[in-house]
A and B are shown apart, each in its own frame.
Chain A
Amino acid sequence: VIDAVLFYAFAVLALGSALVVVGQRNPLYSAFALIVTLCSLSAIFGLLGSPFIAVLQVVVYAGAIMVLFLFVLMLLNVKQEEAAAPRGAALKGMALLLVAILVAQVGTVLSRGGREAAASFDASTRKVAQALFSVQYLYVFEATSILILAALVGAVALAKPSDAGRGQAKPGVASASSADEVAATPARGADRVAAIPLPPVGRGQGWGAR
Chain B
Amino acid sequence: MTPVQQELLIAALKVIVLFGFLMTLFSAMTYVERRLLAFMQFRLGPNRTGPFGILQPVADGIKLFFKEEVMPEGANRWIFLAAPAVAVVTAFLSIAVVPYGGPVRLFGRTISLQIADLDIGVLFILAISSLSVYAIVMAGWGANNKYTLIGGLRSSAQMFSYELSLGLSWVGVILLAGSFRLQDIVGAQAGDYGLVHWNFIWQFPAFLVYVVAATAEVNRTPFDLPEAETELVAGFHTEYSSMRFALLQMAEYVNMMTVSALGTNLFLGGWLAPLPSLQHVGGVDIGLAWFLIKMLSALFFFIWLRGTLPRFRYDQLMSFGWKVLVPIAVLNIVVTGGVVVALTRPGPARSPERRMNPEALSDPVSAKPTVRLAVAAGPGAQG
* Chain A residues in the interface with B (C-beta under 8 A): 28, 32, 35, 39, 42, 51-52, 55, 58-59, 62-64, 67, 70-71, 74-75, 122, 124-127, 130-131, 133-135, 167-168, 170-174, 177-179, 182-183
Q: Nearest Cβ distance between residue B362 and chain A, in whole angstroms?
A: 12
Beyond A63-B127, A67-B160, 14 extra complex contacts between A and B, CB < 8 Å: A59-B123, A67-B156, A71-B137, A71-B153, A124-B370, A126-B356, A126-B360, A126-B366, A127-B369, A133-B381, A168-B319, A171-B318, A172-B160, A172-B322
Q: How far is the CA of A70 from the CA of B131 in the complex (A)?
A: 13
CB distance from A123 to the nearest CB of B (A): 9
- How does the 8 Å CB contact mask read for B350-371 relative to A, with 1 for contact and 0 for none? 0000001000100001100110
The answer on a CB contact under 8 Å between B381 and A134 is yes
Known: A172-B160, A174-B153, A174-B318. A58 touches B373 (CB 8 A): no
Q: Which 6 A-B pairs have the closest CB atoms?
A: A63-B130, A174-B157, A58-B127, A135-B380, A134-B377, A124-B366
Minimum C-beta distance from B12 to chain A (A): 14
Chain B positions within 8 Å of A42 at CB level: 127
Are B157 and A52 in touch, CB under 8 angstroms? no
Q: Which DSSP category, helix, strand, loop or mixed, fits chain A's interface?
A: helix
CB distance from A160 to the nearest CB of B (A): 13
The CA-CA distance from A130 to B378 in the complex, in Å, is 11
- Interface of B, secondary structure class, is helix
Interface residues in B91-146 (C-beta closer than 8 Å to A)? 118-120, 123-124, 126-128, 130-131, 133-134, 137, 141, 146
Contact (Cβ within 8 A) A122 B366: yes
C-alpha gap A74/B141 in the complex (Å):
7
- Are A51's CB and B377's CB within 8 A? no
* B315 / chain A contacts, CB cutoff of 8 Å: 167-168, 170, 183
Residues of B within 8 A of A122 (CB): 365-366, 369
Most A CB contacts (10 A, CB to CB) among B118, B130, B133 go to B130
Determine the chain B residues whose CB is within 8 A of the CB of A170 once the complex forms.
Answer: 315, 318-319
- Complex formed: what's the CA distance from A39 to B124 in Å? 13
Among A55, A131, A183, contact of B120 (Cβ-Cβ < 8 Å): A55
Question: Chain B interface (Cβ within 8 Å of chain A)?
Answer: 79, 118-120, 123-124, 126-128, 130-131, 133-134, 137, 141, 146, 149-150, 153-154, 156-158, 160-161, 180, 314-315, 318-319, 322, 356, 360, 365-366, 369-370, 373-374, 377, 380-381
Question: What would 12 A/B residue contacts be, using CB atoms closer than 8 Å?
Answer: A51-B120, A52-B123, A70-B134, A74-B137, A74-B149, A122-B366, A125-B120, A130-B370, A131-B373, A171-B319, A174-B153, A174-B154
Is the beta-carbon distance between B377 and A59 smaller than 8 angstroms?
no
B52 to chain A, nearest CB (A): 37
Contact B124 A55 (CB under 8 A): yes
Query: In the complex, A50 Cα to B137 Cα: how many Å?
Result: 30
Residues of A within 8 A of B381 (CB): 130, 133-135
A171: chain B residues within 8 A (beta carbon)? 318-319, 322
Q: Taking A126-B360, A178-B153 as contacts, is the C-beta distance between A135 and B377 under 8 angstroms? A: yes
CA distance A70 to B118 in the complex (A): 30
Q: Which residues of A contact B161 (CB under 8 A)?
A: 172
